[in-house]
Structure 1
Amino acid sequence: MKKTTKYLTGMGTLVLATIALVAADHIDAPSSRGTTADIADFFAFEPSEGSDDTTFIVDLQSDVLPELAYGTFDEDVLTEINIDLDGDLVEDQVIQAIARDGKMYFFGPVAPSTTGLSSQVLTDAALGNVEISSTTPIVETTTEGVSLFAGPRQDPFFFDFFQFNAVISPEMDSAPGGFFAPEEATDTFDGANTLSIAIEIPNSMLGTPTATNALGLNVYKTWVTTNKKQ
């Protein structure tokens, strides 16, 4: 029997239609700030050229400054990877992840019971689970060849946050030289963590990709949402 608890979208979605695309977006969603409903990055790519698998990585916002310890996954937040197979930008397959008692539980890929802004945990489509890593990465591989990971990872975003704030400050003379050259900039997030969810899954479980990217390669249209329990 499906769990009927409603989860409502915690922030905007990001549509991807490339073989490998990176997007970083930190601490700018007031309704989800300070929780792991705040999406920082989403990656979707082949793990190696010609692979029959797809890797999805979702980085969720945590304490971003290096001197702060990473946080934990919020158990009232459902992370959902959405996959469109017919080009209408409505999810046809979803992969869900939710934390419980030190483990990350995965469900899908399966057609969702609802689409759009609300979701239900699809407990009938259990995929597997993995212990949430701390200092040592833990990866579980299911009998279907699906690899699962959840835990802290080095923030991949290079950004001189304090110089950026100086440049956009109303005080026009706070950064008269503008942005620094790459060799002079400071990576504010060096040594900081995000909380990551990663899954490598055979394409045969996802369905046939129908989109084509700029390189002429067939790819999935995919985006990620976070949904908070109501």
Structure 2
Amino acid sequence: MKKTKLFAGLGALALIGGVLIAADHIDAPSTMGTTADIADFYGFEPSTGSDNTVFVVDLQSNVLPDLAYGTFDESILTEINIDTNNDLVEDMVIQAIPRDGKMYFFGPAAPSTTGVSGTILVDSPLGSVAISETDAITETTASGVKLFAGPRQDAFFFDFFQFNAVIGGMAPGGFKTADEAQDTFDGANTMSIVVEVPNSLLGATTGQNALGLSVYKTWVTTNKKQ
């Protein structure tokens, strides 16, 4: 198998189950404010009974309303890890890396290495899509995979200033109600990578959620070129 230069892990965020959401805004200084910083990871069926799975990775890039759109760092490989035999080790990966205004995808395929490092699976190209700017651009491949990469509205609702006031002892009344709270991230964007994949490309899974339903156990990592 052809390999590219080794990528070493920087960030990780996991979800286990059917329709679950994980959020982790503002990571360590080595990743904060870059597209190595994972903000959100979503995995879900696009509709009830669908034979597809959608993966959404939101990456922080300090893309606030009064700033220009951010860009994907070309030294960062984003990897969606998929466990199909319930041992919490990735059996398949979907990789995404930007080059010259496009996002290139590879997999789903068995990784050449597992854990915190990896190499691009150049023998398993999945497709590519132009990175969106002001208008959303999507691409559908011959195998039925749908791809997107670009800025999207931050889905995380959080009253950041009230939170700081509460933990700093400056808000005796505590947290505000849902009607009173202010969404600090309203109007802000993340840099998002979206892949919709037919389950036939992922194969069978022995993983189960708390309801006993079959699920893929998945997590996302960002890796920097070494």
Work out whether residues 13 and 24 of structure 2, in 8 Å CA contact, stay in contact via their aligned partners in 1. Answer: no
Q: Does 1:99 align with 2:98?
A: yes
Work out whether residues 63 and 69 of structure 1, in 8 Å CA contact, stay in contact via their aligned partners in 2. Answer: no
Q: Does 1:192 align with 2:188?
A: yes
Work out whether residues 13 and 41 of structure 2, in 8 Å CA contact, stay in contact via their aligned partners in 1. Answer: no
Work out whether residues 85 and 209 of structure 1, in 8 Å CA contact, stay in contact via their aligned partners in 2. Answer: yes
Distance 1:68 1:179 in 2: 29
Task: Quote the residue 2:12 is aligned against.
Answer: 12
Distance 2:23 2:63 in 1: 13
Work out whether residues 8 and 225 of structure 2, in 8 Å CA contact, stay in contact via their aligned partners in 1. Answer: yes
1:17-61 per-residue CA deviation (whole Å, 9 max, x = no partner) reads 211111111112221112100000000111111111100000001
Q: Does 1:217 align with 2:217?
A: no
3-state secondary structure, aligned to 2:23: coil
Counterpart of 1:212 in structure 2: which amino acid?
Answer: Q
Task: Quote the residue 2:204 is aligned against.
Answer: 208
3-state secondary structure, aligned to 2:12: coil
Q: Does 1:131 align with 2:118?
A: no
Counterparts of residues 127-206 of structure 1 (less than 5 Å): 127-169=126-168, 172=169, 174-206=170-202
Task: Please list every run of at least 4 consecutive aligned residues from structure 1 whose deviation after the TM superposition is greater than 3 angstroms.
Answer: none
Q: Does 1:3 align with 2:3?
A: yes
Give the TM-score, by structure 1 length: 0.95
Work out whether residues 84 and 221 of structure 1, in 8 Å CA contact, stay in contact via their aligned partners in 2. Answer: yes
Aligned length: 226
Counterpart of 1:175 in structure 2: which amino acid?
Answer: A
Distance 2:28 2:181 in 1: 26
Counterpart of 1:110 in structure 2: which amino acid?
Answer: A
Write 1 or 2 for the structure with the bigger share of strand: 2
3-state secondary structure, aligned to 2:21: coil
Percent of aligned positions that are identical: 70
Distance 1:227 1:125 in 2: 19
Give the TM-score, by structure 2 length: 0.97
Distance 1:12 1:146 in 2: 24
Counterpart of 1:116 in structure 2: which amino acid?
Answer: G
Distance 1:152 1:209 in 2: 32
Counterpart of 1:202 in structure 2: which amino acid?
Answer: P
